[in-house]
Structure 1
Amino acid sequence: MALLCFQSLRMLRSGIRCMSQNAQLVSLTVNDKTGVATLSLQRPPVNSLNLELLTEISSALTEATDNNSRGLILTSTNDGVFSAGLDILEMYKPNLDRVKEFWTKLQETWIKLYQTAYPTVAVINGHSPAGGCLLALSCEHRIMVKNFTIGLNETRLGIVAPPWFIASMVNVIGQRQSERALTLGHMFTTEEAKNVGLIDEIVQNKAEGTTQAEAFIQKFAKIPFQARSLTKTWLRNKTVESLVKNREDDLNMFLQVVTQPNAQESLGHYIQSLKNKATK
């Protein structure tokens, strides 16, 4: 089970746990001509996934569904980081009620994104480790800007990605490539990611990526929506159902791991190492 996560040096240095309750951590816009929605992550400085950000992502996905969106582009307002993964401060010396809500919201958000009826494209305009990689893997098509990295690198922190993280990668690049990447905690360059099929296209910048994302979604314009969405559901149902049937066990396993003294010690050392780097 994973404790994934990264946190920005600036946020650790300032001691900020989360944004103001009034701050908008995502934006959802819709192209009136195409009906395609764009969901942009905008939690400074690195879109680390805390409870509040996950809640807003989940709500935005529901809104896109309720508005009968024809497709969704997931991206970041930060050209440099798509998402740095789960917020480590959610798991270090956690409040038990909050950390339960945090993990449950992560499960919910992944389920919603993974099984949307409309087509989804990740425009990855920055580094995308751990939980950031999971968001990208959950989309149907991935477009990545050059000179960044992506991967499920949990083992480098001495932790383990949960089964549904692993399944998300296996479904994209296969068992062998996933086994090697996950056990090594490998972060793929943009070119490496394209070579193994982790991403589908390489672009020079976010604007080009958005154009290509719109073009991908447009391919489905003449495909009956219900037939397309049911096909996607059946293809992905086994992976989703595995978590749905075991959500409580998954939560309990996470709580068991995250509250272990050695896990807390490891997280503490990791946070301190980031603080030390920030002061150099």
Structure 2
Amino acid sequence: MNTVDLQDMDGVAVVRLNRGKKNPINPEFVGDLSEVIEQVREDGGITSAVLTSSNDRFFSIGLDVPELIDYDKTEFREFIMDFNLLCLDIYTLPKPTAAAINGHAIAGGCILALCCDFRYMSEGKKLFGLNEVKLGVSVPYLPQRILQQIAGDRVTVEMVYGGDFYPPEKVLEMGVVDGVFAPEELLQKSVERVKKIGELPGRAFAAVKANRTERVREDIIKRLERDVDVFVELWFSDEAQQRLREAMKSF
């Protein structure tokens, strides 16, 4: 795998996003991360997982706009569907998960973090947010539904309506992340959290987690086809194309 690294730290799978300095999300990235998540699911020696970045600048900048902008509707729709299914796989993984957010988590990168059971963020000038509306596209139903579960509807409204980015202290105050640590402590604290839970009886934990995630998963699946269609149509609108091409300068 070229874009994702997997390290077994005494039963904790440390999954490092490793696609350049900004970890833009493209089909190869989705395929590699899906494969790693399946490995974590099936490996009985792995009790838990931490998702992080191989660099401390970007957790992920989100979708790889410069690559995806040239896709036709069929190609793009397939990619968006695959990304949603990957997110569901992370969200429903029957083992404890944490995102160690050591860099900016933007749009799709923010969504990956929301799909984990816990989110820990490093101190400093890091930003977290869902800015899709500012680019002329919708925030998909999946992250909105999961964010509602995590932090409630008012926080969800604030984050998805305005499309703003927030520093670590603010998202901690909002209840979106579970802790903020010094950069040198972030990974250790994240590993410790999931390792402790991973030492509990695995089948019992899986059942407890399913009780929390199954209703949300069903809600997302019911709306998925329609939601993807809406996202694709907005992506190909003139307004979004103009805004996306302007945003490409950030890549």
Matched, 1:124 2:101: yes
Q: Tell me how far 1:126 sits from its aligned partner.
A: 0.6
Report the equivalent of 1:158.
Answer: 136
The one-character-per-residue Cα deviations of 1:173-226 (angstroms, maximum 9, x if unpaired) are: 111111122212121111111111111111111x41121122212322553211
Aligned equivalents of 2:195, 2:247: Cα separation in 1: 44
- Whether contact under 8 Å (2:122, 2:168) holds in the other structure is yes
1:58 and 1:202 map into 2 onto residues whose CA distance is 27
SS in 1 for 2:176: coil
| Aligned position for 1:25 | 3
* Letter of the structure 1 residue corresponding to residue 220 of structure 2: L
Partner of residue 80, structure 2: 103
| Worse-matched range after superposition: 38-47 or 86-95 | 86-95
How far off its partner does 1:267 sit?
A: 2.2
Which residue of 2 is the match for residue 38 of structure 1? Answer: 14
Distance 1:76 1:217 in 2: 17
- Of 26, 30, 35, the match for 1:50: 26
Q: 1:249 and 1:155, CA in 2 relative to 1: closer, same or farther beyond 3 A?
A: closer
AA aligned to 2:201 is P
Amino acid across the alignment from 2:87:
W
* CA distance in structure 1 between the aligned counterparts of 2:28 and 2:96, rounded to whole angstroms: 25
In structure 2, C-alpha distance between the alignment counterparts of 1:153 and 1:126, rounded to whole Å = 16
- Which of 189, 200, 203 is the aligned partner of 1:226? 203
Secondary structure of 2:60's counterpart equals coil
Letter in structure 2 aligned against 1:246: R
What is the aligned counterpart of 2:221 among 236, 240, 244?
244
Q: Matched residues in 2 for 1:211 and 1:94: separation?
A: 40
Aligned length in residues: 249
Distance change (3 Å), C-alpha of 1:225 and 1:264: same
- Separation (CA, whole Å) in 2 of partners of 1:269 and 1:214: 38
TM superposition score normalised by structure 2:
0.92
**Does the residue aligned with 1:220 lie in a helix, a strand or coil?**
helix
Aligned residue in 1 for 2:166: 188
Structure 1 portions without partners, runs of 5+ = 1-22
Contact 1:90 1:99 (C-alpha < 8 Å) held by counterparts = no
Alpha-carbon separation, structure 1, partners of 2:167 and 2:246: 27
On the 8 A contact 2:114/2:147 being kept in 1, the answer is yes
Distance 1:145 1:51, change over 3 A: same
Structure showing greater Rg: 1
Aligned equivalent of 1:258, options 229, 235, 239: 235
Q: How far apart are 1:27 and its partner, in Å? A: 0.4
Whole-Å separation in 1 of the counterparts to 2:68 and 2:234? 10
**Aligned-pair identity (%):** 27
